[in-house]
Amino acid sequence: MGFIDAIKRWKLAQQGMSSGKKRRTYEQGSLTGSMDRSFGVRALLYLLFTFLGTILVMRNSFSYVSEYGTVAFLQISICFAVIAVFEIQHSHKPRNVRVVLMFGSISLHLLVIHIVGIIFKGSDCALIALPYALAPMITSVLLNRQGGIFSTVAVTLSGLLIVPQEFLIHYAVMSLFCGMMVVYLTKSVRRRGSLLRAGVYAGVVILVLAVAYGLIETPQNKDGWADLGQRCGCALGVSLLIAMIVSGLLPVLESIFGVTTDISWLELSDLNHKLMKRLQLEAPGTFHHSLVVASLAEAAAESIGANAPMCRVSAYFHDIGKLKKPLYFIENQGDENPHDTITPTMSALVIIAHVKDGVDLAVKHKLNPLIIDVIKEHHGDSLVYYFYHKANELK
């Protein structure tokens, strides 16, 4: 079909009836979209992560259920099923990519617990070195606060099947307190420094709980001071290291899972973007109008708990299609009005066309898909009443 369309456009261009160019369009793949929301794919993902969790438990020599494969499978299944039900109920857009992100981070968290247990061979020092902040931080930043809470509960319940039996209470309390602290501090992350702050506070929580449980004690001799320093450094350093790693990998994770964090939205709000500079020079009235709309949209979003940074950035770019014919829009006009020299029908077409022109520019400059959706939808589908009435008067 693409080849036939190209021939048709070439023939029209030869007759002077077309420029021969095809307008850029933005469309999400139907196959990808259907798989992303398929219940069957979602069920397979649940089953896959359940088997992975079961294998991880069975291969862990420190787990009290490692010898009972059926018990491990049932406990992991129940744990993941409970979290899945809560995740579905609290998600207004059920997407399978959320499942991969949620359970992928949980599985990675459990895998690191398994590795740390092997390195420290089941000693109490392993409790201090566990990555309590890993899955809660990833899901809280990339999904939302509820996702962070779900993952905290999940890694706590699932981790109980991996850690040695004598440390179950210690692990559960440290995991819950640290995870909730991270979720609370990352509920609205707009700077990468906020992630490092969350890592430091999480490390302090681990340090305090380790002291409370006697995992870190005042040494009785000189040789014990080195062990004390290592344990304190481990308690504070692991969570900080996780925060640094997540901060560095954030752009990669956003690209893989198709998620845009508040940090990225703030980076996109830079008015030095090429399109924003063009808007300032070629359509200053539209530029000022966009700034006002952005402020209103951000205030409205904050009042109802919506994504305020996304609304601000989308408002910046919503009228970029007016760059095609800026003088045909009243905010950019001087003493002359170009609409006085053309028919009302043509005027209406020019006004409506700025939406398509905006999508064309957005696709060309590879703007965020959510911004493109706003450009497509911002004008609605109502009549251009002024020129409609003007056309009726000319009849």
DSSP assignment of 57-119 equals HHT-TT-TTTT-HHHHHHHHHHHHHHHHHHHHHT-SS--HHHHHHHHHHHHHHHHHHHHHHHH
Of residues 294, 304, 307, the one with CA closest to residue 260:
307
If you compute the radius of gyration of the chain from its CA atoms, what whole number of angstroms results? 28
Quote the tokens at residue 106: 């949980």
381: DSSP letter: S
What is the distance, to the nearest Å, from the Cα of residue 211 to the centroid of all Cα atoms in its chain?
36
What pLDDT score does 31 carry?
A: 42
Q: What is the pLDDT along the chain (395 residues), one digit of tens a residue?
A: 455 666 665 555 555 444 445 555 555 544 445 556 666 666 677 777 777 766 766 666 555 555 444 555 555 565 655 555 555 545 555 567 777 888 888 888 888 888 887 887 767 777 888 888 888 898 888 888 888 888 888 888 878 777 777 778 888 888 889 889 888 888 777 777 888 888 889 888 888 888 888 777 776 666 666 767 777 888 888 888 988 988 888 888 888 887 888 888 888 888 888 999 999 999 899 999 999 999 999 999 989 988 888 999 999 999 898 888 888 888 888 778 888 788 888 888 888 888 888 888 888 888 888 898 899 888 877 777 787 778 887 76
What pLDDT score does 300 carry?
A: 93
What pLDDT score does 36 carry?
A: 61
| Residues near 158 by beta carbon (within 8 Å), at least 6 away in sequence | 53, 76, 79, 80, 106, 110
What pLDDT score does 17 carry?
A: 44
What pLDDT score does 1 carry?
A: 47
CA–CA dist 103, 17 (Å, integer)? 55
If you search the block for the tokens 């305090």, which residue do you land on? 208
CA–CA dist 219, 177 (Å, integer)? 26
CA–CA dist 330, 314 (Å, integer)? 22
Burial of 270 (0-12, 13-18, 19+ CB in 10 A): exposed
Instruction: List, for residues 61-120, the tens digit of each pLDDT value.
Output: 555 555 444 555 555 565 655 555 555 545 555 567 777 888 888 888 888 888 887 887
Residue type, 240: L
What pLDDT score does 24 carry?
A: 58
Q: Residues 309, 315: contact at Cβ < 8 Å? A: no
What pLDDT score does 295 carry?
A: 93
Q: If you write DSSP's letter for every residue of 223-289 in order, what string do you get?
A: HHHHHHHHHHHHHHHHHHHHHHHHHHHHHHHHHHHT---HHHHHHHT-TTSHHHHHHHHH-HHHHHH
% helix, strand, coil for the chain, step of 5: 75, 0, 25
Of residues 262, 247, 235, the one with CA closest to residue 137:
247
The CA-to-CA distance between both ends of the chain, in Å, stands at 42
Quote the tokens at residue 239: 């969570």
Instruction: List, for residues 323-340, the tens digit of each pLDDT value.
Output: 888 888 888 887 788 887
What pLDDT score does 11 carry?
A: 59
Neighbouring CB atoms inside 10 A of 164's CB total 19
